[in-house]
C-alpha cells in the first residue's frame, strides 16, 4: 500500500503493521511502542500506520483521509510534538481527554507521542491509566529511541515494533529514485549523514547544507590552541543557527504545501472554516523552530562524530572507506599523531555533549568543552 512508501529499509515493521491493518477485527492491539535510532523513521511509520487504519482501503495514500493524516490535519489523529526536554503532565492529560472522545470522521481516535521517553514517571502513570483501560476505537502510538527508555509498566502494556537504521546503500537508492539525485552524490550524502534519511536528503539537495557541513569539519581540523578552540566553538554555534533557520524554513513551506493540497486549495485562499487548522500548523511549526537549533547543534555533533570515526578507523586499520574523503590528508595526519584511545575519548565526549544538551546545559558551553577536549587529546593543527 502506498502509505508505507516513505519508509525505508523497514520491511519487517511494514509487514507486521499492514497485517494488523488488514485484519483489524481479530484481537486488536490498542497500544504501540515504535522504537529505533534517530533517523530510522519512527514518526513517519506512526503517521503511515495511522493513515492506514483510517483509510477505507487500508492506506491508499491518495484518498482525502490518507492525505489529511499525512499532513497532520486529520481531526481524529493527534500528534504530540514537544519542544521541551520533558513532556508535561498537562499535555498528556489533554491527550487522554482527546482519546476518550469517540472518533468524529474516521474509524479510530489515534494519538501519537513523539519522544515518549521524555515523560516523567508521574506523567507516564497518567498515560498508563489510559493504556490499561483503552476505549474501543482508540489507538496509542508511542515513539522512543529504545524500549529501555520507557518504564516497564508502559512497556508491558504496549506492543513493540523495532526499526533499524537503513544501510548507506538503501538511503542512497531512495535519494536516487525519489529525489532524482545522481548516484555518486546520493552515496556520499547517505554516508555523510550516517544513514539519517532526512539529513541525507538535505545534504543531497542543498549545496548550502553541504557547504555548511564542510565548513564545520574545516573548523574542527583548524583548531590549534585553547583560544582558537573557543573561537571555533563560537563559529560552530553560528553555523548551527544558520543551518537551523534554513532547515525550518524549508520544512515549514513543505508542510504548508501538503496541507493546502490535502484540502484541495490551489490559490492560497484559505476558507474561514479551515483557518484554525492552518493556525494549528503554524503553532506546531513555531514549537518546532525552538527545537531546530538543538537539531542544528546535533548535526554539528554528527559531523564531528564522522570525522573521529574516520580517524579511529585508520588507527584500527579498518578497511571501510572514509566518510570524509575530502579531508583524507588531515585525517591521516591526526590518525598518525594520536592514538585510538584518544579518538575513543573524543567520541565519548561527543555522546556526553548530546546528553548535556538534553539536560539543558548552555549550547556554547557544550561546544566549548568539546573543542577543548580535542586539544587535550592532541587533535591540533600542525
Ligand atoms: Zn486512503
Å from CA of 74 to ligand 1 middle: 12
Where are the chain's structural domains?
Answer: 2-165, 167-205, 210-376
Å from CA of 1 to ligand 1 middle: 9
**359 against 131, higher pLDDT:** 131
Q: With a cut of 80, say whether residue 362 has pLDDT above it.
A: yes
Q: How confident is the model at residue 172 (pLDDT cuts 50, 70, 90)?
A: very high
List Cβ neighbours of 45 (8 Å cut-off, separation of 6 or more): 7, 10, 13, 17, 34, 161, 163
Å from CA of 36 to ligand 1 middle: 26
Q: With a cut of 80, say whether residue 82 has pLDDT above it.
A: no
Å from CA of 71 to ligand 1 middle: 13
Q: With a cut of 80, say whether residue 84 has pLDDT above it.
A: no
Query: Which three cell numbers mark 339?
Result: 592514538
Å from CA of 58 to ligand 1 middle: 6
Å from CA of 211 to ligand 1 middle: 40
Place of cell 474561514: 272
Q: How confident is the model at residue 223 (pLDDT cuts 50, 70, 90)?
A: very high
The superfamily in CATH containing domain 2-165 is P-loop containing nucleotide triphosphate hydrolases (3.40.50.300)
Å from CA of 59 to ligand 1 middle: 5
Q: What is the Cα Rg of the chain in Å?
A: 22
Burial (CB < 10 A; 0-12, 13-18, 19+), residue 297, is buried
Q: How confident is the model at residue 2 (pLDDT cuts 50, 70, 90)?
A: confident
Å from CA of 159 to ligand 1 middle: 24
Q: Look over the chain and give the mean of its residue pLDDT values, rounded to a whole number.
A: 90
pLDDT (0 to 100) of residue 144: 93
Å from CA of 54 to ligand 1 middle: 7
Å from CA of 187 to ligand 1 middle: 33
Please state the rounded mean pLDDT for residues 20-39. 86
List Cβ neighbours of 131 (8 Å cut-off, separation of 6 or more): 30, 31, 140, 154, 157, 158
Please state the rounded mean pLDDT for residues 157-165. 93
For the stretch 265-275, pLDDT in tens is 887 788 888 88
Q: With a cut of 80, say whether residue 288 has pLDDT above it.
A: no
| Predicted TM-score of the model (pTM) | 0.78
Q: How confident is the model at residue 1 (pLDDT cuts 50, 70, 90)?
A: low
Which of 35-49, 56-70, 78-92, 366-380 has the weakest average pLDDT? 78-92
Rounded Cα distance, 16 and 226, in Å: 53
Å from CA of 73 to ligand 1 middle: 14
Å from CA of 62 to ligand 1 middle: 5
Å from CA of 108 to ligand 1 middle: 14
Which of 117-126, 166-175, 244-253, 311-320 has the weakest average pLDDT? 244-253
Å from CA of 3 to ligand 1 middle: 8
Rounded Cα distance, 176 and 174, in Å: 5
Q: How confident is the model at residue 254 (pLDDT cuts 50, 70, 90)?
A: confident
List Cβ neighbours of 23 (8 Å cut-off, separation of 6 or more): none
Amino acid at each position: 500500500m502506498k502509505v508505507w512508501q516513505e519508509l525505508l529499509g523497514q520491511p519487517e515493521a511494514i509487514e507486521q503493521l499492514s497485517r494488523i491493518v488488514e485484519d483489524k477485527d481479530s484481537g486488536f492491539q490498542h497500544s504501540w511502542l515504535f522504537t529505533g535510532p534517530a533517523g530510522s523513521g519512527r514518526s513517519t511509520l506512526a503517521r503511515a500506520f495511522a493513515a492506514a487504519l483510517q483509510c477505507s482501503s487500508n492506506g491508499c495514500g491518495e484518498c482525502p483521509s490518507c492525505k489529511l493524516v499525512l499532513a497532520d490535519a486529520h481531526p481524529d489523529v493527534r500528534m504530540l510534538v514537544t519542544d521541551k526536554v520533558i513532556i508535561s503532565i498537562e499535555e498528556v492529560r489533554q491527550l487522554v481527554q482527546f482519546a476518550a472522545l469517540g472518533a468524529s470522521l474516521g474509524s479510530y481516535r489515534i494519538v501519537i507521542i513523539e519522544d515518549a521517553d521524555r515523560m516523567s514517571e508521574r506523567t507516564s502513570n497518567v498515560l498508563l491509566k489510559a493504556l490499561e483501560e483503552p476505549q474501543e476505537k482508540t489507538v496509542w502510538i508511542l515513539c522512543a529511541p529504545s524500549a529501555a527508555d520507557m518504564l516497564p509498566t508502559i512497556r508491558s502494556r504496549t506492543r513493540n515494533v523495532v526499526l533499524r537504521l537503513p544501510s548507506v546503500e538503501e538511503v542512497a537508492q531512495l535519494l536516487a529514485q525519489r529525489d532524482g539525485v545522481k548516484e555518486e552524490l546520493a552515496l556520499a550524502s547517505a554516508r555523510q549523514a550516517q544513514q539519517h534519511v532526512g539529513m541525507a536528503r538535505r545534504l543531497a539537495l542543498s549545496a548550502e547544507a553541504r557547504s555548511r557541513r564542510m565548513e564545520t569539519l574545516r573548523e574542527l581540523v583548524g583548531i590549534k590552541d585553547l583560544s582558537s578552540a573557543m573561537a571555533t566553538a563560537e563559529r560552530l554555534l553560528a553555523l548551527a543557527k544558520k543551518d537551523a533557520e534554513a532547515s525550518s524554513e524549508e520544512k515549514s513551506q513543505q508542510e504548508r504545501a501538503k496541507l493546502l493540497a490535502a484540502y484541495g486549495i490551489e490559490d492560497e485562499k484559505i476558507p474561514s472554516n479551515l483557518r484554525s487548522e492552518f493556525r494549528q500548523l503554524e503553532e506546531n511549526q513555531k514549537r518546532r523552530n525552538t527545537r531546530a537549533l538543538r537539531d542544528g547543534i546535533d548535526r554539528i555533533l554528527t559531523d564531528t562524530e564522522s570525522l573521529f570515526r574516520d580517524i579511529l578507523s585508520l588507527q584500527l586499520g579498518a578497511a571501510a572507506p572514509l566518510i570524509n574523503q575530502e579531508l583524507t590528508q588531515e585525517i591521516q595526519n591526526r590518525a598518525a599523531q594520536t592514538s585510538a584511545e584518544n579518538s575513543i575519548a573524543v567520541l565519548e565526549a561527543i555522546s556526553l555533549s548530546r546528553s548535556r544538551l538534553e539536560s539543558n546545559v548552555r549550547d556554547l558551553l557544550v561546544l566549548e568543552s568539546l573543542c577543548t577536549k580535542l586539544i587535550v587529546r592532541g587533535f591540533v593543527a600542525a
